[in-house]
Amino acid sequence: MTNRTFAIIKPDAVKNNYSGNIIDHILKFNFKILAARLTHMTLAQAEGFYGIHKGKPFFEELTNFMSSGPCWVLALEKENAVEEWRKTIGATNPADADEGTIRKMYATSLGENAVHGSDSNENSAIEIGFFFSDAELIACQ
Ligand code: ADP
Ligand code: MG
């Protein structure tokens, strides 16, 4: 699992028609897409996925936003995937993100920041499992 990470193209980026550009960026940076699906999370799903942030002041805003429209969920593979994907997306706040990062190019704001990336190998396994079965991943090998 250490070479896998989980990504979301968030509702702001889908709404702004950046899905294609972001998928292109994923492939250009040599991530292999193991599985991908367009989905519209329910509020309960968003609350479950972001359970780690429960109790934080932005939790309600975050879960409302993530259930506000369709998003792409993706399982990605690359050597050192978690760290590489975090580097590719940039800082949480697009105002702090480096030039050339996905958030710098496509994020709307701190809350609506275009993409998600797992923060550890442990969480990447949990997050991939939240949306994909093993069979769906294997089917793409
Ligand atoms: P990251 O997505 O970079 O791992 P966090 O895990 O800290 O960042 O936060 C999860 C998501 O919650 C962020 O991507 C962003 O959409 C939202 N968020 C984080 N901090 C804030 C904040 N202070 N105000 C509004 N939304 C926030
Ligand atoms: Mg995080």
Domain ranges of the chain: 2-40+72-136
**pTM for the full model?**
0.97
Is any ligand 1 atom within 6 A of the Cβ of residue 110? Answer: yes
Mean pLDDT of 7-33: 98
Interatomic CA distance for residues 42 and 44, integer angstroms: 5
Is the CB of 130 within 6 Å of ligand 1? no
Which pair of tokens denotes residue 133?
């079965």
In the reported structure, the alpha carbon of residue 56 is separated from the centroid of ligand 2 by a whole-number distance in angstroms of: 13
pLDDT tens-digit map of 48-90:
999 999 999 999 999 999 999 999 999 999 999 999 999 999 9
- CB of 61 shorter than 6 A to ligand 1: yes
Per mean pLDDT, which range of 64-73, 108-117, 129-138 is the poorest? 129-138
Residue type, 1: M
User: For residues 73 and 56, what is the distance between their CA atoms, to the nearest angstrom?
Assistant: 24
* Structural contact between residues 61 and 109, judged by C-beta atoms closer than 8 angstroms: no
Query: What three-state secondary structure class fits 42?
Result: coil
| CATH of the domain spanning 2-40+72-136 | 3.30.70.141
Q: How many residues does the chain have?
A: 141
pLDDT top residue among 101 and 141:
101
Closest ligand 1 atom to Cα of 119: 4
